[in-house]
Amino acid sequence: EPEVTQTPSHQVTQMGQEVILRCVPISNHLYFYWYRQILGQKVEFLVSFYNNEISEKSEIFDDQFSVERPDGSNFTLKIRSTKLEDSAMYFCASSGGTGLYGELFFGEGSRLTVL
């Protein structure tokens, strides 16, 4: 069964460093998302991406964050100058060609620990 894959599963970084989280969405999906979940808190939306551009972003997704689809299969989240409060589980998701009505499929997540 097709699935969303994420790497790394866990990354530890020092405060102020840059990290890149990678995702391979389901192959025929067109809509891509990043969410995050701080330990013990709700899953929060960060950004959605369609047709090589951001279609919606939350107030969390400020200039510290960026997303890119560098090729036909990968979707990345870059976090510049990481802060302690960026420690969270980051989930990538994708959905198919039904746009706003489509079911979202999530990856297993990348746990980011900022020291």
Partner 1 sequence: KQEVTQIPAALSVPEGENLVLNCSFTDSAIYNLQWFRQDPGKGLTSLLLIQSSQREQTSGRLNASLDKSSGRSTLYIAASQPGDSATYLCAVKYTGRRALTFGSGTRLQVQP
Map tokens 């960060």 to a residue: 46
Number of residues that bind partner 1 (CB under 8 A): 24
Quote the CA–CA distance of 79 and 26 in Å, as a whole number: 23
Quote the CA–CA distance of 115 and 101 in Å, as a whole number: 39
Is there binding between residue 44 and partner 1 (CB under 8 A)? yes
Strand order, beta sheet including 5-7:
5-7, 19-24, 75-79, 65-68
**Segment interacting with partner 1, rule: CB under 8 A, options 12-20, 64-72, 76-84, 105-113:** 105-113
- Residue 22 or 111 having the CB closest to partner 1: 111
Is there binding between residue 45 and partner 1 (CB under 8 A)? yes
Member of 23, 75, 109, 112 binding partner 1 (CB under 8 A): 109
